[in-house]
């Protein structure tokens, strides 16, 4: 040490101070304490979980740390969805905890949901003691192996000396590049074993820029500046990168219409003059038809999901396609493109925008406005319907609420009729389509953004899958609002049975004696049933004013359909409205 340096008093003094500080920061802690300290290092303020035998050491330590808020959910799947909702609403890493065996496997659906939608989440599970691994011990399961295909990284820690670095690495992986879930499994003996711990400040994750090349930028600029009819297609990656200001500037500079995916909602304001609506199966007519008329489709953080592009062989065949995405694996995966830029979307746009020429193409703008006239079906005011409910939610909340959904018709109505103006405002399971996602996500979102009104919009089928989380909301005094659009059927599945299966309604009718209002009240929440249009807005206003968990059941007709609709695998111009569906023939 210092072999090539003069042993001056100043150097020796500095060395002494550094060594003293290092020793002062060193603490002898057990594994559970190390996990808590690592969570605090990462800025975690809230975790969601459910205790059990293998994870008791960690929960005993949580008891001693009231500064770390723990939300006890009613089911581990609810904990994973809550961590997901917290992450989507805040942009931070969500954290969930579960014990071994069934506790860990109950997280799987929530982890897969986060994986499909690129949500940063760290799931920490406990396993049986190291000597009992591989022996079919009680509640033993290889959760790291089970979750390997649905995580960015999964591992088991069997040495307490590796624990702190593994937790730190988990957070770094979860939030870097294209975000996603990470699972860390810790054996029970490691949660009790002692080890030196030295606090570390987490490194700031920088946007991915090393893959952005001048060649790709130059080619993209030539395509953009040459185009006469540019069209922007905005996906969830734009929201994740925080590129909303750049996307807005790009659209107005190019006078380009903008469509989005379900995950991209709010990145470009739904109230803007250039907004066309959602693309794809249940997007607007205008958004879908314009794809066939542009000469350049600029794809911003979207992955060409089958629900968006319908038929990849015919999608935007008349246009050049430029795809910008942080994940190179998504480029040319579903649709072959003409040019690409791989890297953080916001950073890419920052480099492109100064070189992009402003456009003034009156003909293209006129075509855009004509397509905007092809609006969704007119919502009747004299009958309670799903679209009516969504429109009133928008009016009452003035478009400022955080909106969660489950999956089904209500999800598509929400995407169609609520004008999202900010990213991270819509929380929904897009890629996996997880029924039962919404209420847990709403609880997580409210914990992360307590100043916001948080509403989950569900169908009756979905509410049956997560209604136990109402007890989580009341137990922890988390004032979320659950709106159940109750049509007494599995609405989206029934819609497909009507259109494609000869009206054979196999196991999709939910007519039974379940009373959702009484269910809500039995778990300590307020319950309200709405059957007439004029009853809904006052019920929602009262729920918001009460500051209490509230369930509002809205009873609607069984055969209302989501329209427009493009049949699966069909081109985007084969889009059918409500009248078309009335005359549908199988």
Q: How far is Cα 174 from Cα 253, in angstroms, rounded to an integer?
A: 34
Contacts of 149 (CB under 8 A, 6+ apart): none
| Nearest CA among 382, 403, 386, 381 for reference residue 562 | 386
Q: How far is Cα 208 from Cα 573, in angstroms, rounded to an integer?
A: 36
E runs forming strands in 267-315: 275-278, 296-300
For the record, the structure tokens of 234 come out as 């905005």
Count of beta carbons in the 10 Å neighbourhood of residue 333: 15
Q: How far is Cα 107 from Cα 124, in angstroms, rounded to an integer?
A: 10
Residues labelled catalytic: 76, 138-139, 188, 492
Q: How far is Cα 448 from Cα 443, in angstroms, rounded to an integer?
A: 9
32-58 burial, b for 16+ CB within 10 Å, e for fewer?
A: bbbbbbbbebbebebbbbbbbebbbbb
For the record, the structure tokens of 393 come out as 């939610």
Q: How far is Cα 319 from Cα 338, in angstroms, rounded to an integer?
A: 9
**Beta strand 402-405 with 426-427: parallel, antiparallel or unpaired?**
parallel
Task: Please give the torsion angle defined by the CA atoms of residues 193, 194, 196 and 202, in that order, rounded to the nearest 10 degrees.
Answer: 40
Residue 317's alpha-carbon distances to 188, 279, 294, in angstroms, are: 56, 16, 10
């Amino acid at each position: 040490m210092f072999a090539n340096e003069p042993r001056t008093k100043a150097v020796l003094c500095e060395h002494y101070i550094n060594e003293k500080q290092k020793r002062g920061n060193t603490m002898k802690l057990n594994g559970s304490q190390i996990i808590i300290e690592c969570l605090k290092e990462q800025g975690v303020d809230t975790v969601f979980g459910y205790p059990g035998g293998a994870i008791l050491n960690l929960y005993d330590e949580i008891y001693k740390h009231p500064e770390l808020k723990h939300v006890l959910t009613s089911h581990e799947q609810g904990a994973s969805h809550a961590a997901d909702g917290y992450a989507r609403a805040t942009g931070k890493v969500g954290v969930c905890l579960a014990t071994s065996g069934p506790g860990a496997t109950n997280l799987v659906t929530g982890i897969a949901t986060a994986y499909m939608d690129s949500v940063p989440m760290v799931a920490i599970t406990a396993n049986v003691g190291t000597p009992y691994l591989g022996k079919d011990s009680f509640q033993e399961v290889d959760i790291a192996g089970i979750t390997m295909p649905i995580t960015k990284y999964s591992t088991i820690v069997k040495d307490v000396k590796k624990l702190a670095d593994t937790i730190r690495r988990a957070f770094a992986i979860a939030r870097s590049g294209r975000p996603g879930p990470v699972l860390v499994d810790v054996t029970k003996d490691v949660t009790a074993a002692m080890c030196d711990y030295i606090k570390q400040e987490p490194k700031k994750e920088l946007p991915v820029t090393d893959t952005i090349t001048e060649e790709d930028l130059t080619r993209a600029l030539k395509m953009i500046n040459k185009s006469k009819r540019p069209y922007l297609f905005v996906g969830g990656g734009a929201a994740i990168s925080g590129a909303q200001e750049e996307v807005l500037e790009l659209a107005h500079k190019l006078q380009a219409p903008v469509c989005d995916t379900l995950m991209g909602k709010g990145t470009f304001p739904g109230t803007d003059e250039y907004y066309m609506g959602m693309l794809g199966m249940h997007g607007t007519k205008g958004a879908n038809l314009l794809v066939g008329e542009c000469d350049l489709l600029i794809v911003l953080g979207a992955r060409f999901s089958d629900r968006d592009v319908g038929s990849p062989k015919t999608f935007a065949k008349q246009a050049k396609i430029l795809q910008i995405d942080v994940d190179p694996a998504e480029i040319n995966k579903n649709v072959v493109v003409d040019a690409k830029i791989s890297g953080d979307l916001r950073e890419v746009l920052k480099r492109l925008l100064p070189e992009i020429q402003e456009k003034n193409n009156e003909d293209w703008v006129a075509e855009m406005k004509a397509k905007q006239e092809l609006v969704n079906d007119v919502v009747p005011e004299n009958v309670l319907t799903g679209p009516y409910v969504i429109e009133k939610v928008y009016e009452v909340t003035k478009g400022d609420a955080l909106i969660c959904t489950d999956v089904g018709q209500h999800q598509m109505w929400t995407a169609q009729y609520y004008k999202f103006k900010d990213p991270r405002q819509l929380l929904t399971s897009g890629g996996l389509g997880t029924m039962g996602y919404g209420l847990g996500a709403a609880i997580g979102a409210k914990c992360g953004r307590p100043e916001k009104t948080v509403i989950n919009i569900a169908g009756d089928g979905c509410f049956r899958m997560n209604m136990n989380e109402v007890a989580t909301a009341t137990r922890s005094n988390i004032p979320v609002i659950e709106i159940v659009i109750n049509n007494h059927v599995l609405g989206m599945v029934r819609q497909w049975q009507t259109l494609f299966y000869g009206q054979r309604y196999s196991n999709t009718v939910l007519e039974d004696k379940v009373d959702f209002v009484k269910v809500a009240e039995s778990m300590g929440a307020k319950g309200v049933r709405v059957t007439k249009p004029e009853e809904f807005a006052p019920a929602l206003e009262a729920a918001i004013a009460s500051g209490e968990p509230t369930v509002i059941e809205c009873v609607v007709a069984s055969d209302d359909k989501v329209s427009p609709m493009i049949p699966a695998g069909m081109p985007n111009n084969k889009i059918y409205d409500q009248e078309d569906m009335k005359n549908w023939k199988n």
